[in-house]
Amino acid sequence: MKYTNFNGLFSLMRKKLTNYVDGFLSVLFYYEDMCIICNKQTNNNHILCDNCKNNKYSIKKTIKKGGFKFNAYCCYYYNKYIREAIKGMKYKNDFNAINAFGKDLANLIIKENLEVDIITFVPSNKSVIKKRDYNQSELLARKIVKSLNKQFHKKIYIGNLLEKEKCLDQIGLSRLERWENVSNVFSVNKKNKEKIKNRKIILIDDVLTSGATAYYCSKRLIEEGASSVDIVTIAAANII
């Protein structure tokens, strides 16, 4: 039994080490003249080629339900190029995509002149973190804070404010099923409740689909005393 446990621990350590090495190499050998979305040639060391750049927008959507209303801001429509880049970011340790999208989101926050005291992110449950080793929304949030602190005169804080219970994956569910699936899975960390009172918060996620996840995360933050919550994502799907 002890031998089996040792093998399991060794396998987990090897997986984590592989992920860290892959991420390091992806940054070390990143060619700045290649598009992070379609991998085609770009001009003047841009991160996007002309074709993918033309699919970039500043999209604003409103999510309303049960007396609560939240604004969501997105950089792109969810097309095939963005879908593949986000899949690489979520499942394949593509830290170049995280860096690039993080800069996009920071620029979107500046462009929309969003007020912010704390940036937080949609949480993953423990089983997902164990499987992937990271939460892509948290990495995006950290990149955004780093960029914004260079732009703003006041310091923007990043906060791990929310927790998520285990639920079904949203992929494959209908719009109604998505809303029902996440209606009671989010809560505010007890240790961080006092930090959010009267604070302006920006919530980061990768894709706005039905809007259910972003809505319930934002609702919990408002219920615990946040003065405002804006949602900022990489892409917006047409389902909302």
Buried b (16+ CB within 10 A) or exposed e, 120-144: bbbbbeeebeeeeebbbbbbbbbbb
- Residue 124 and residue 160: Cα distance in Å, rounded? 11
pLDDT of 24: 44
What pLDDT does residue 206 have?
94
The architecture (CATH level 2) of 54-236 comes to 3-Layer(aba) Sandwich (3.40)
Q: Which of 80, 53, 59, 90 is nearest to 208 (CA)?
A: 59
CA–CA distance, 181 with 167 (Å, rounded to integer): 7
Per-residue tens of pLDDT for the chain, all 240 residues: 444 455 555 555 555 555 544 444 444 344 456 776 666 777 655 666 777 666 666 789 999 999 999 999 999 888 888 888 888 888 888 888 888 899 899 999 999 999 999 999 999 888 877 787 889 999 999 999 999 988 776 788 998 999 998 877 777 778 888 898 888 999 999 888 889 999 999 999 999 999 999 999 999 999 999 999 999 999 998 755
Owner of token pair 């990271």: 134
**Coil, strand, or helix at residue 93?**
coil
Domain ranges, ordered by start, for the chain? 54-236
CB 131 within 8 A of CB 90: no
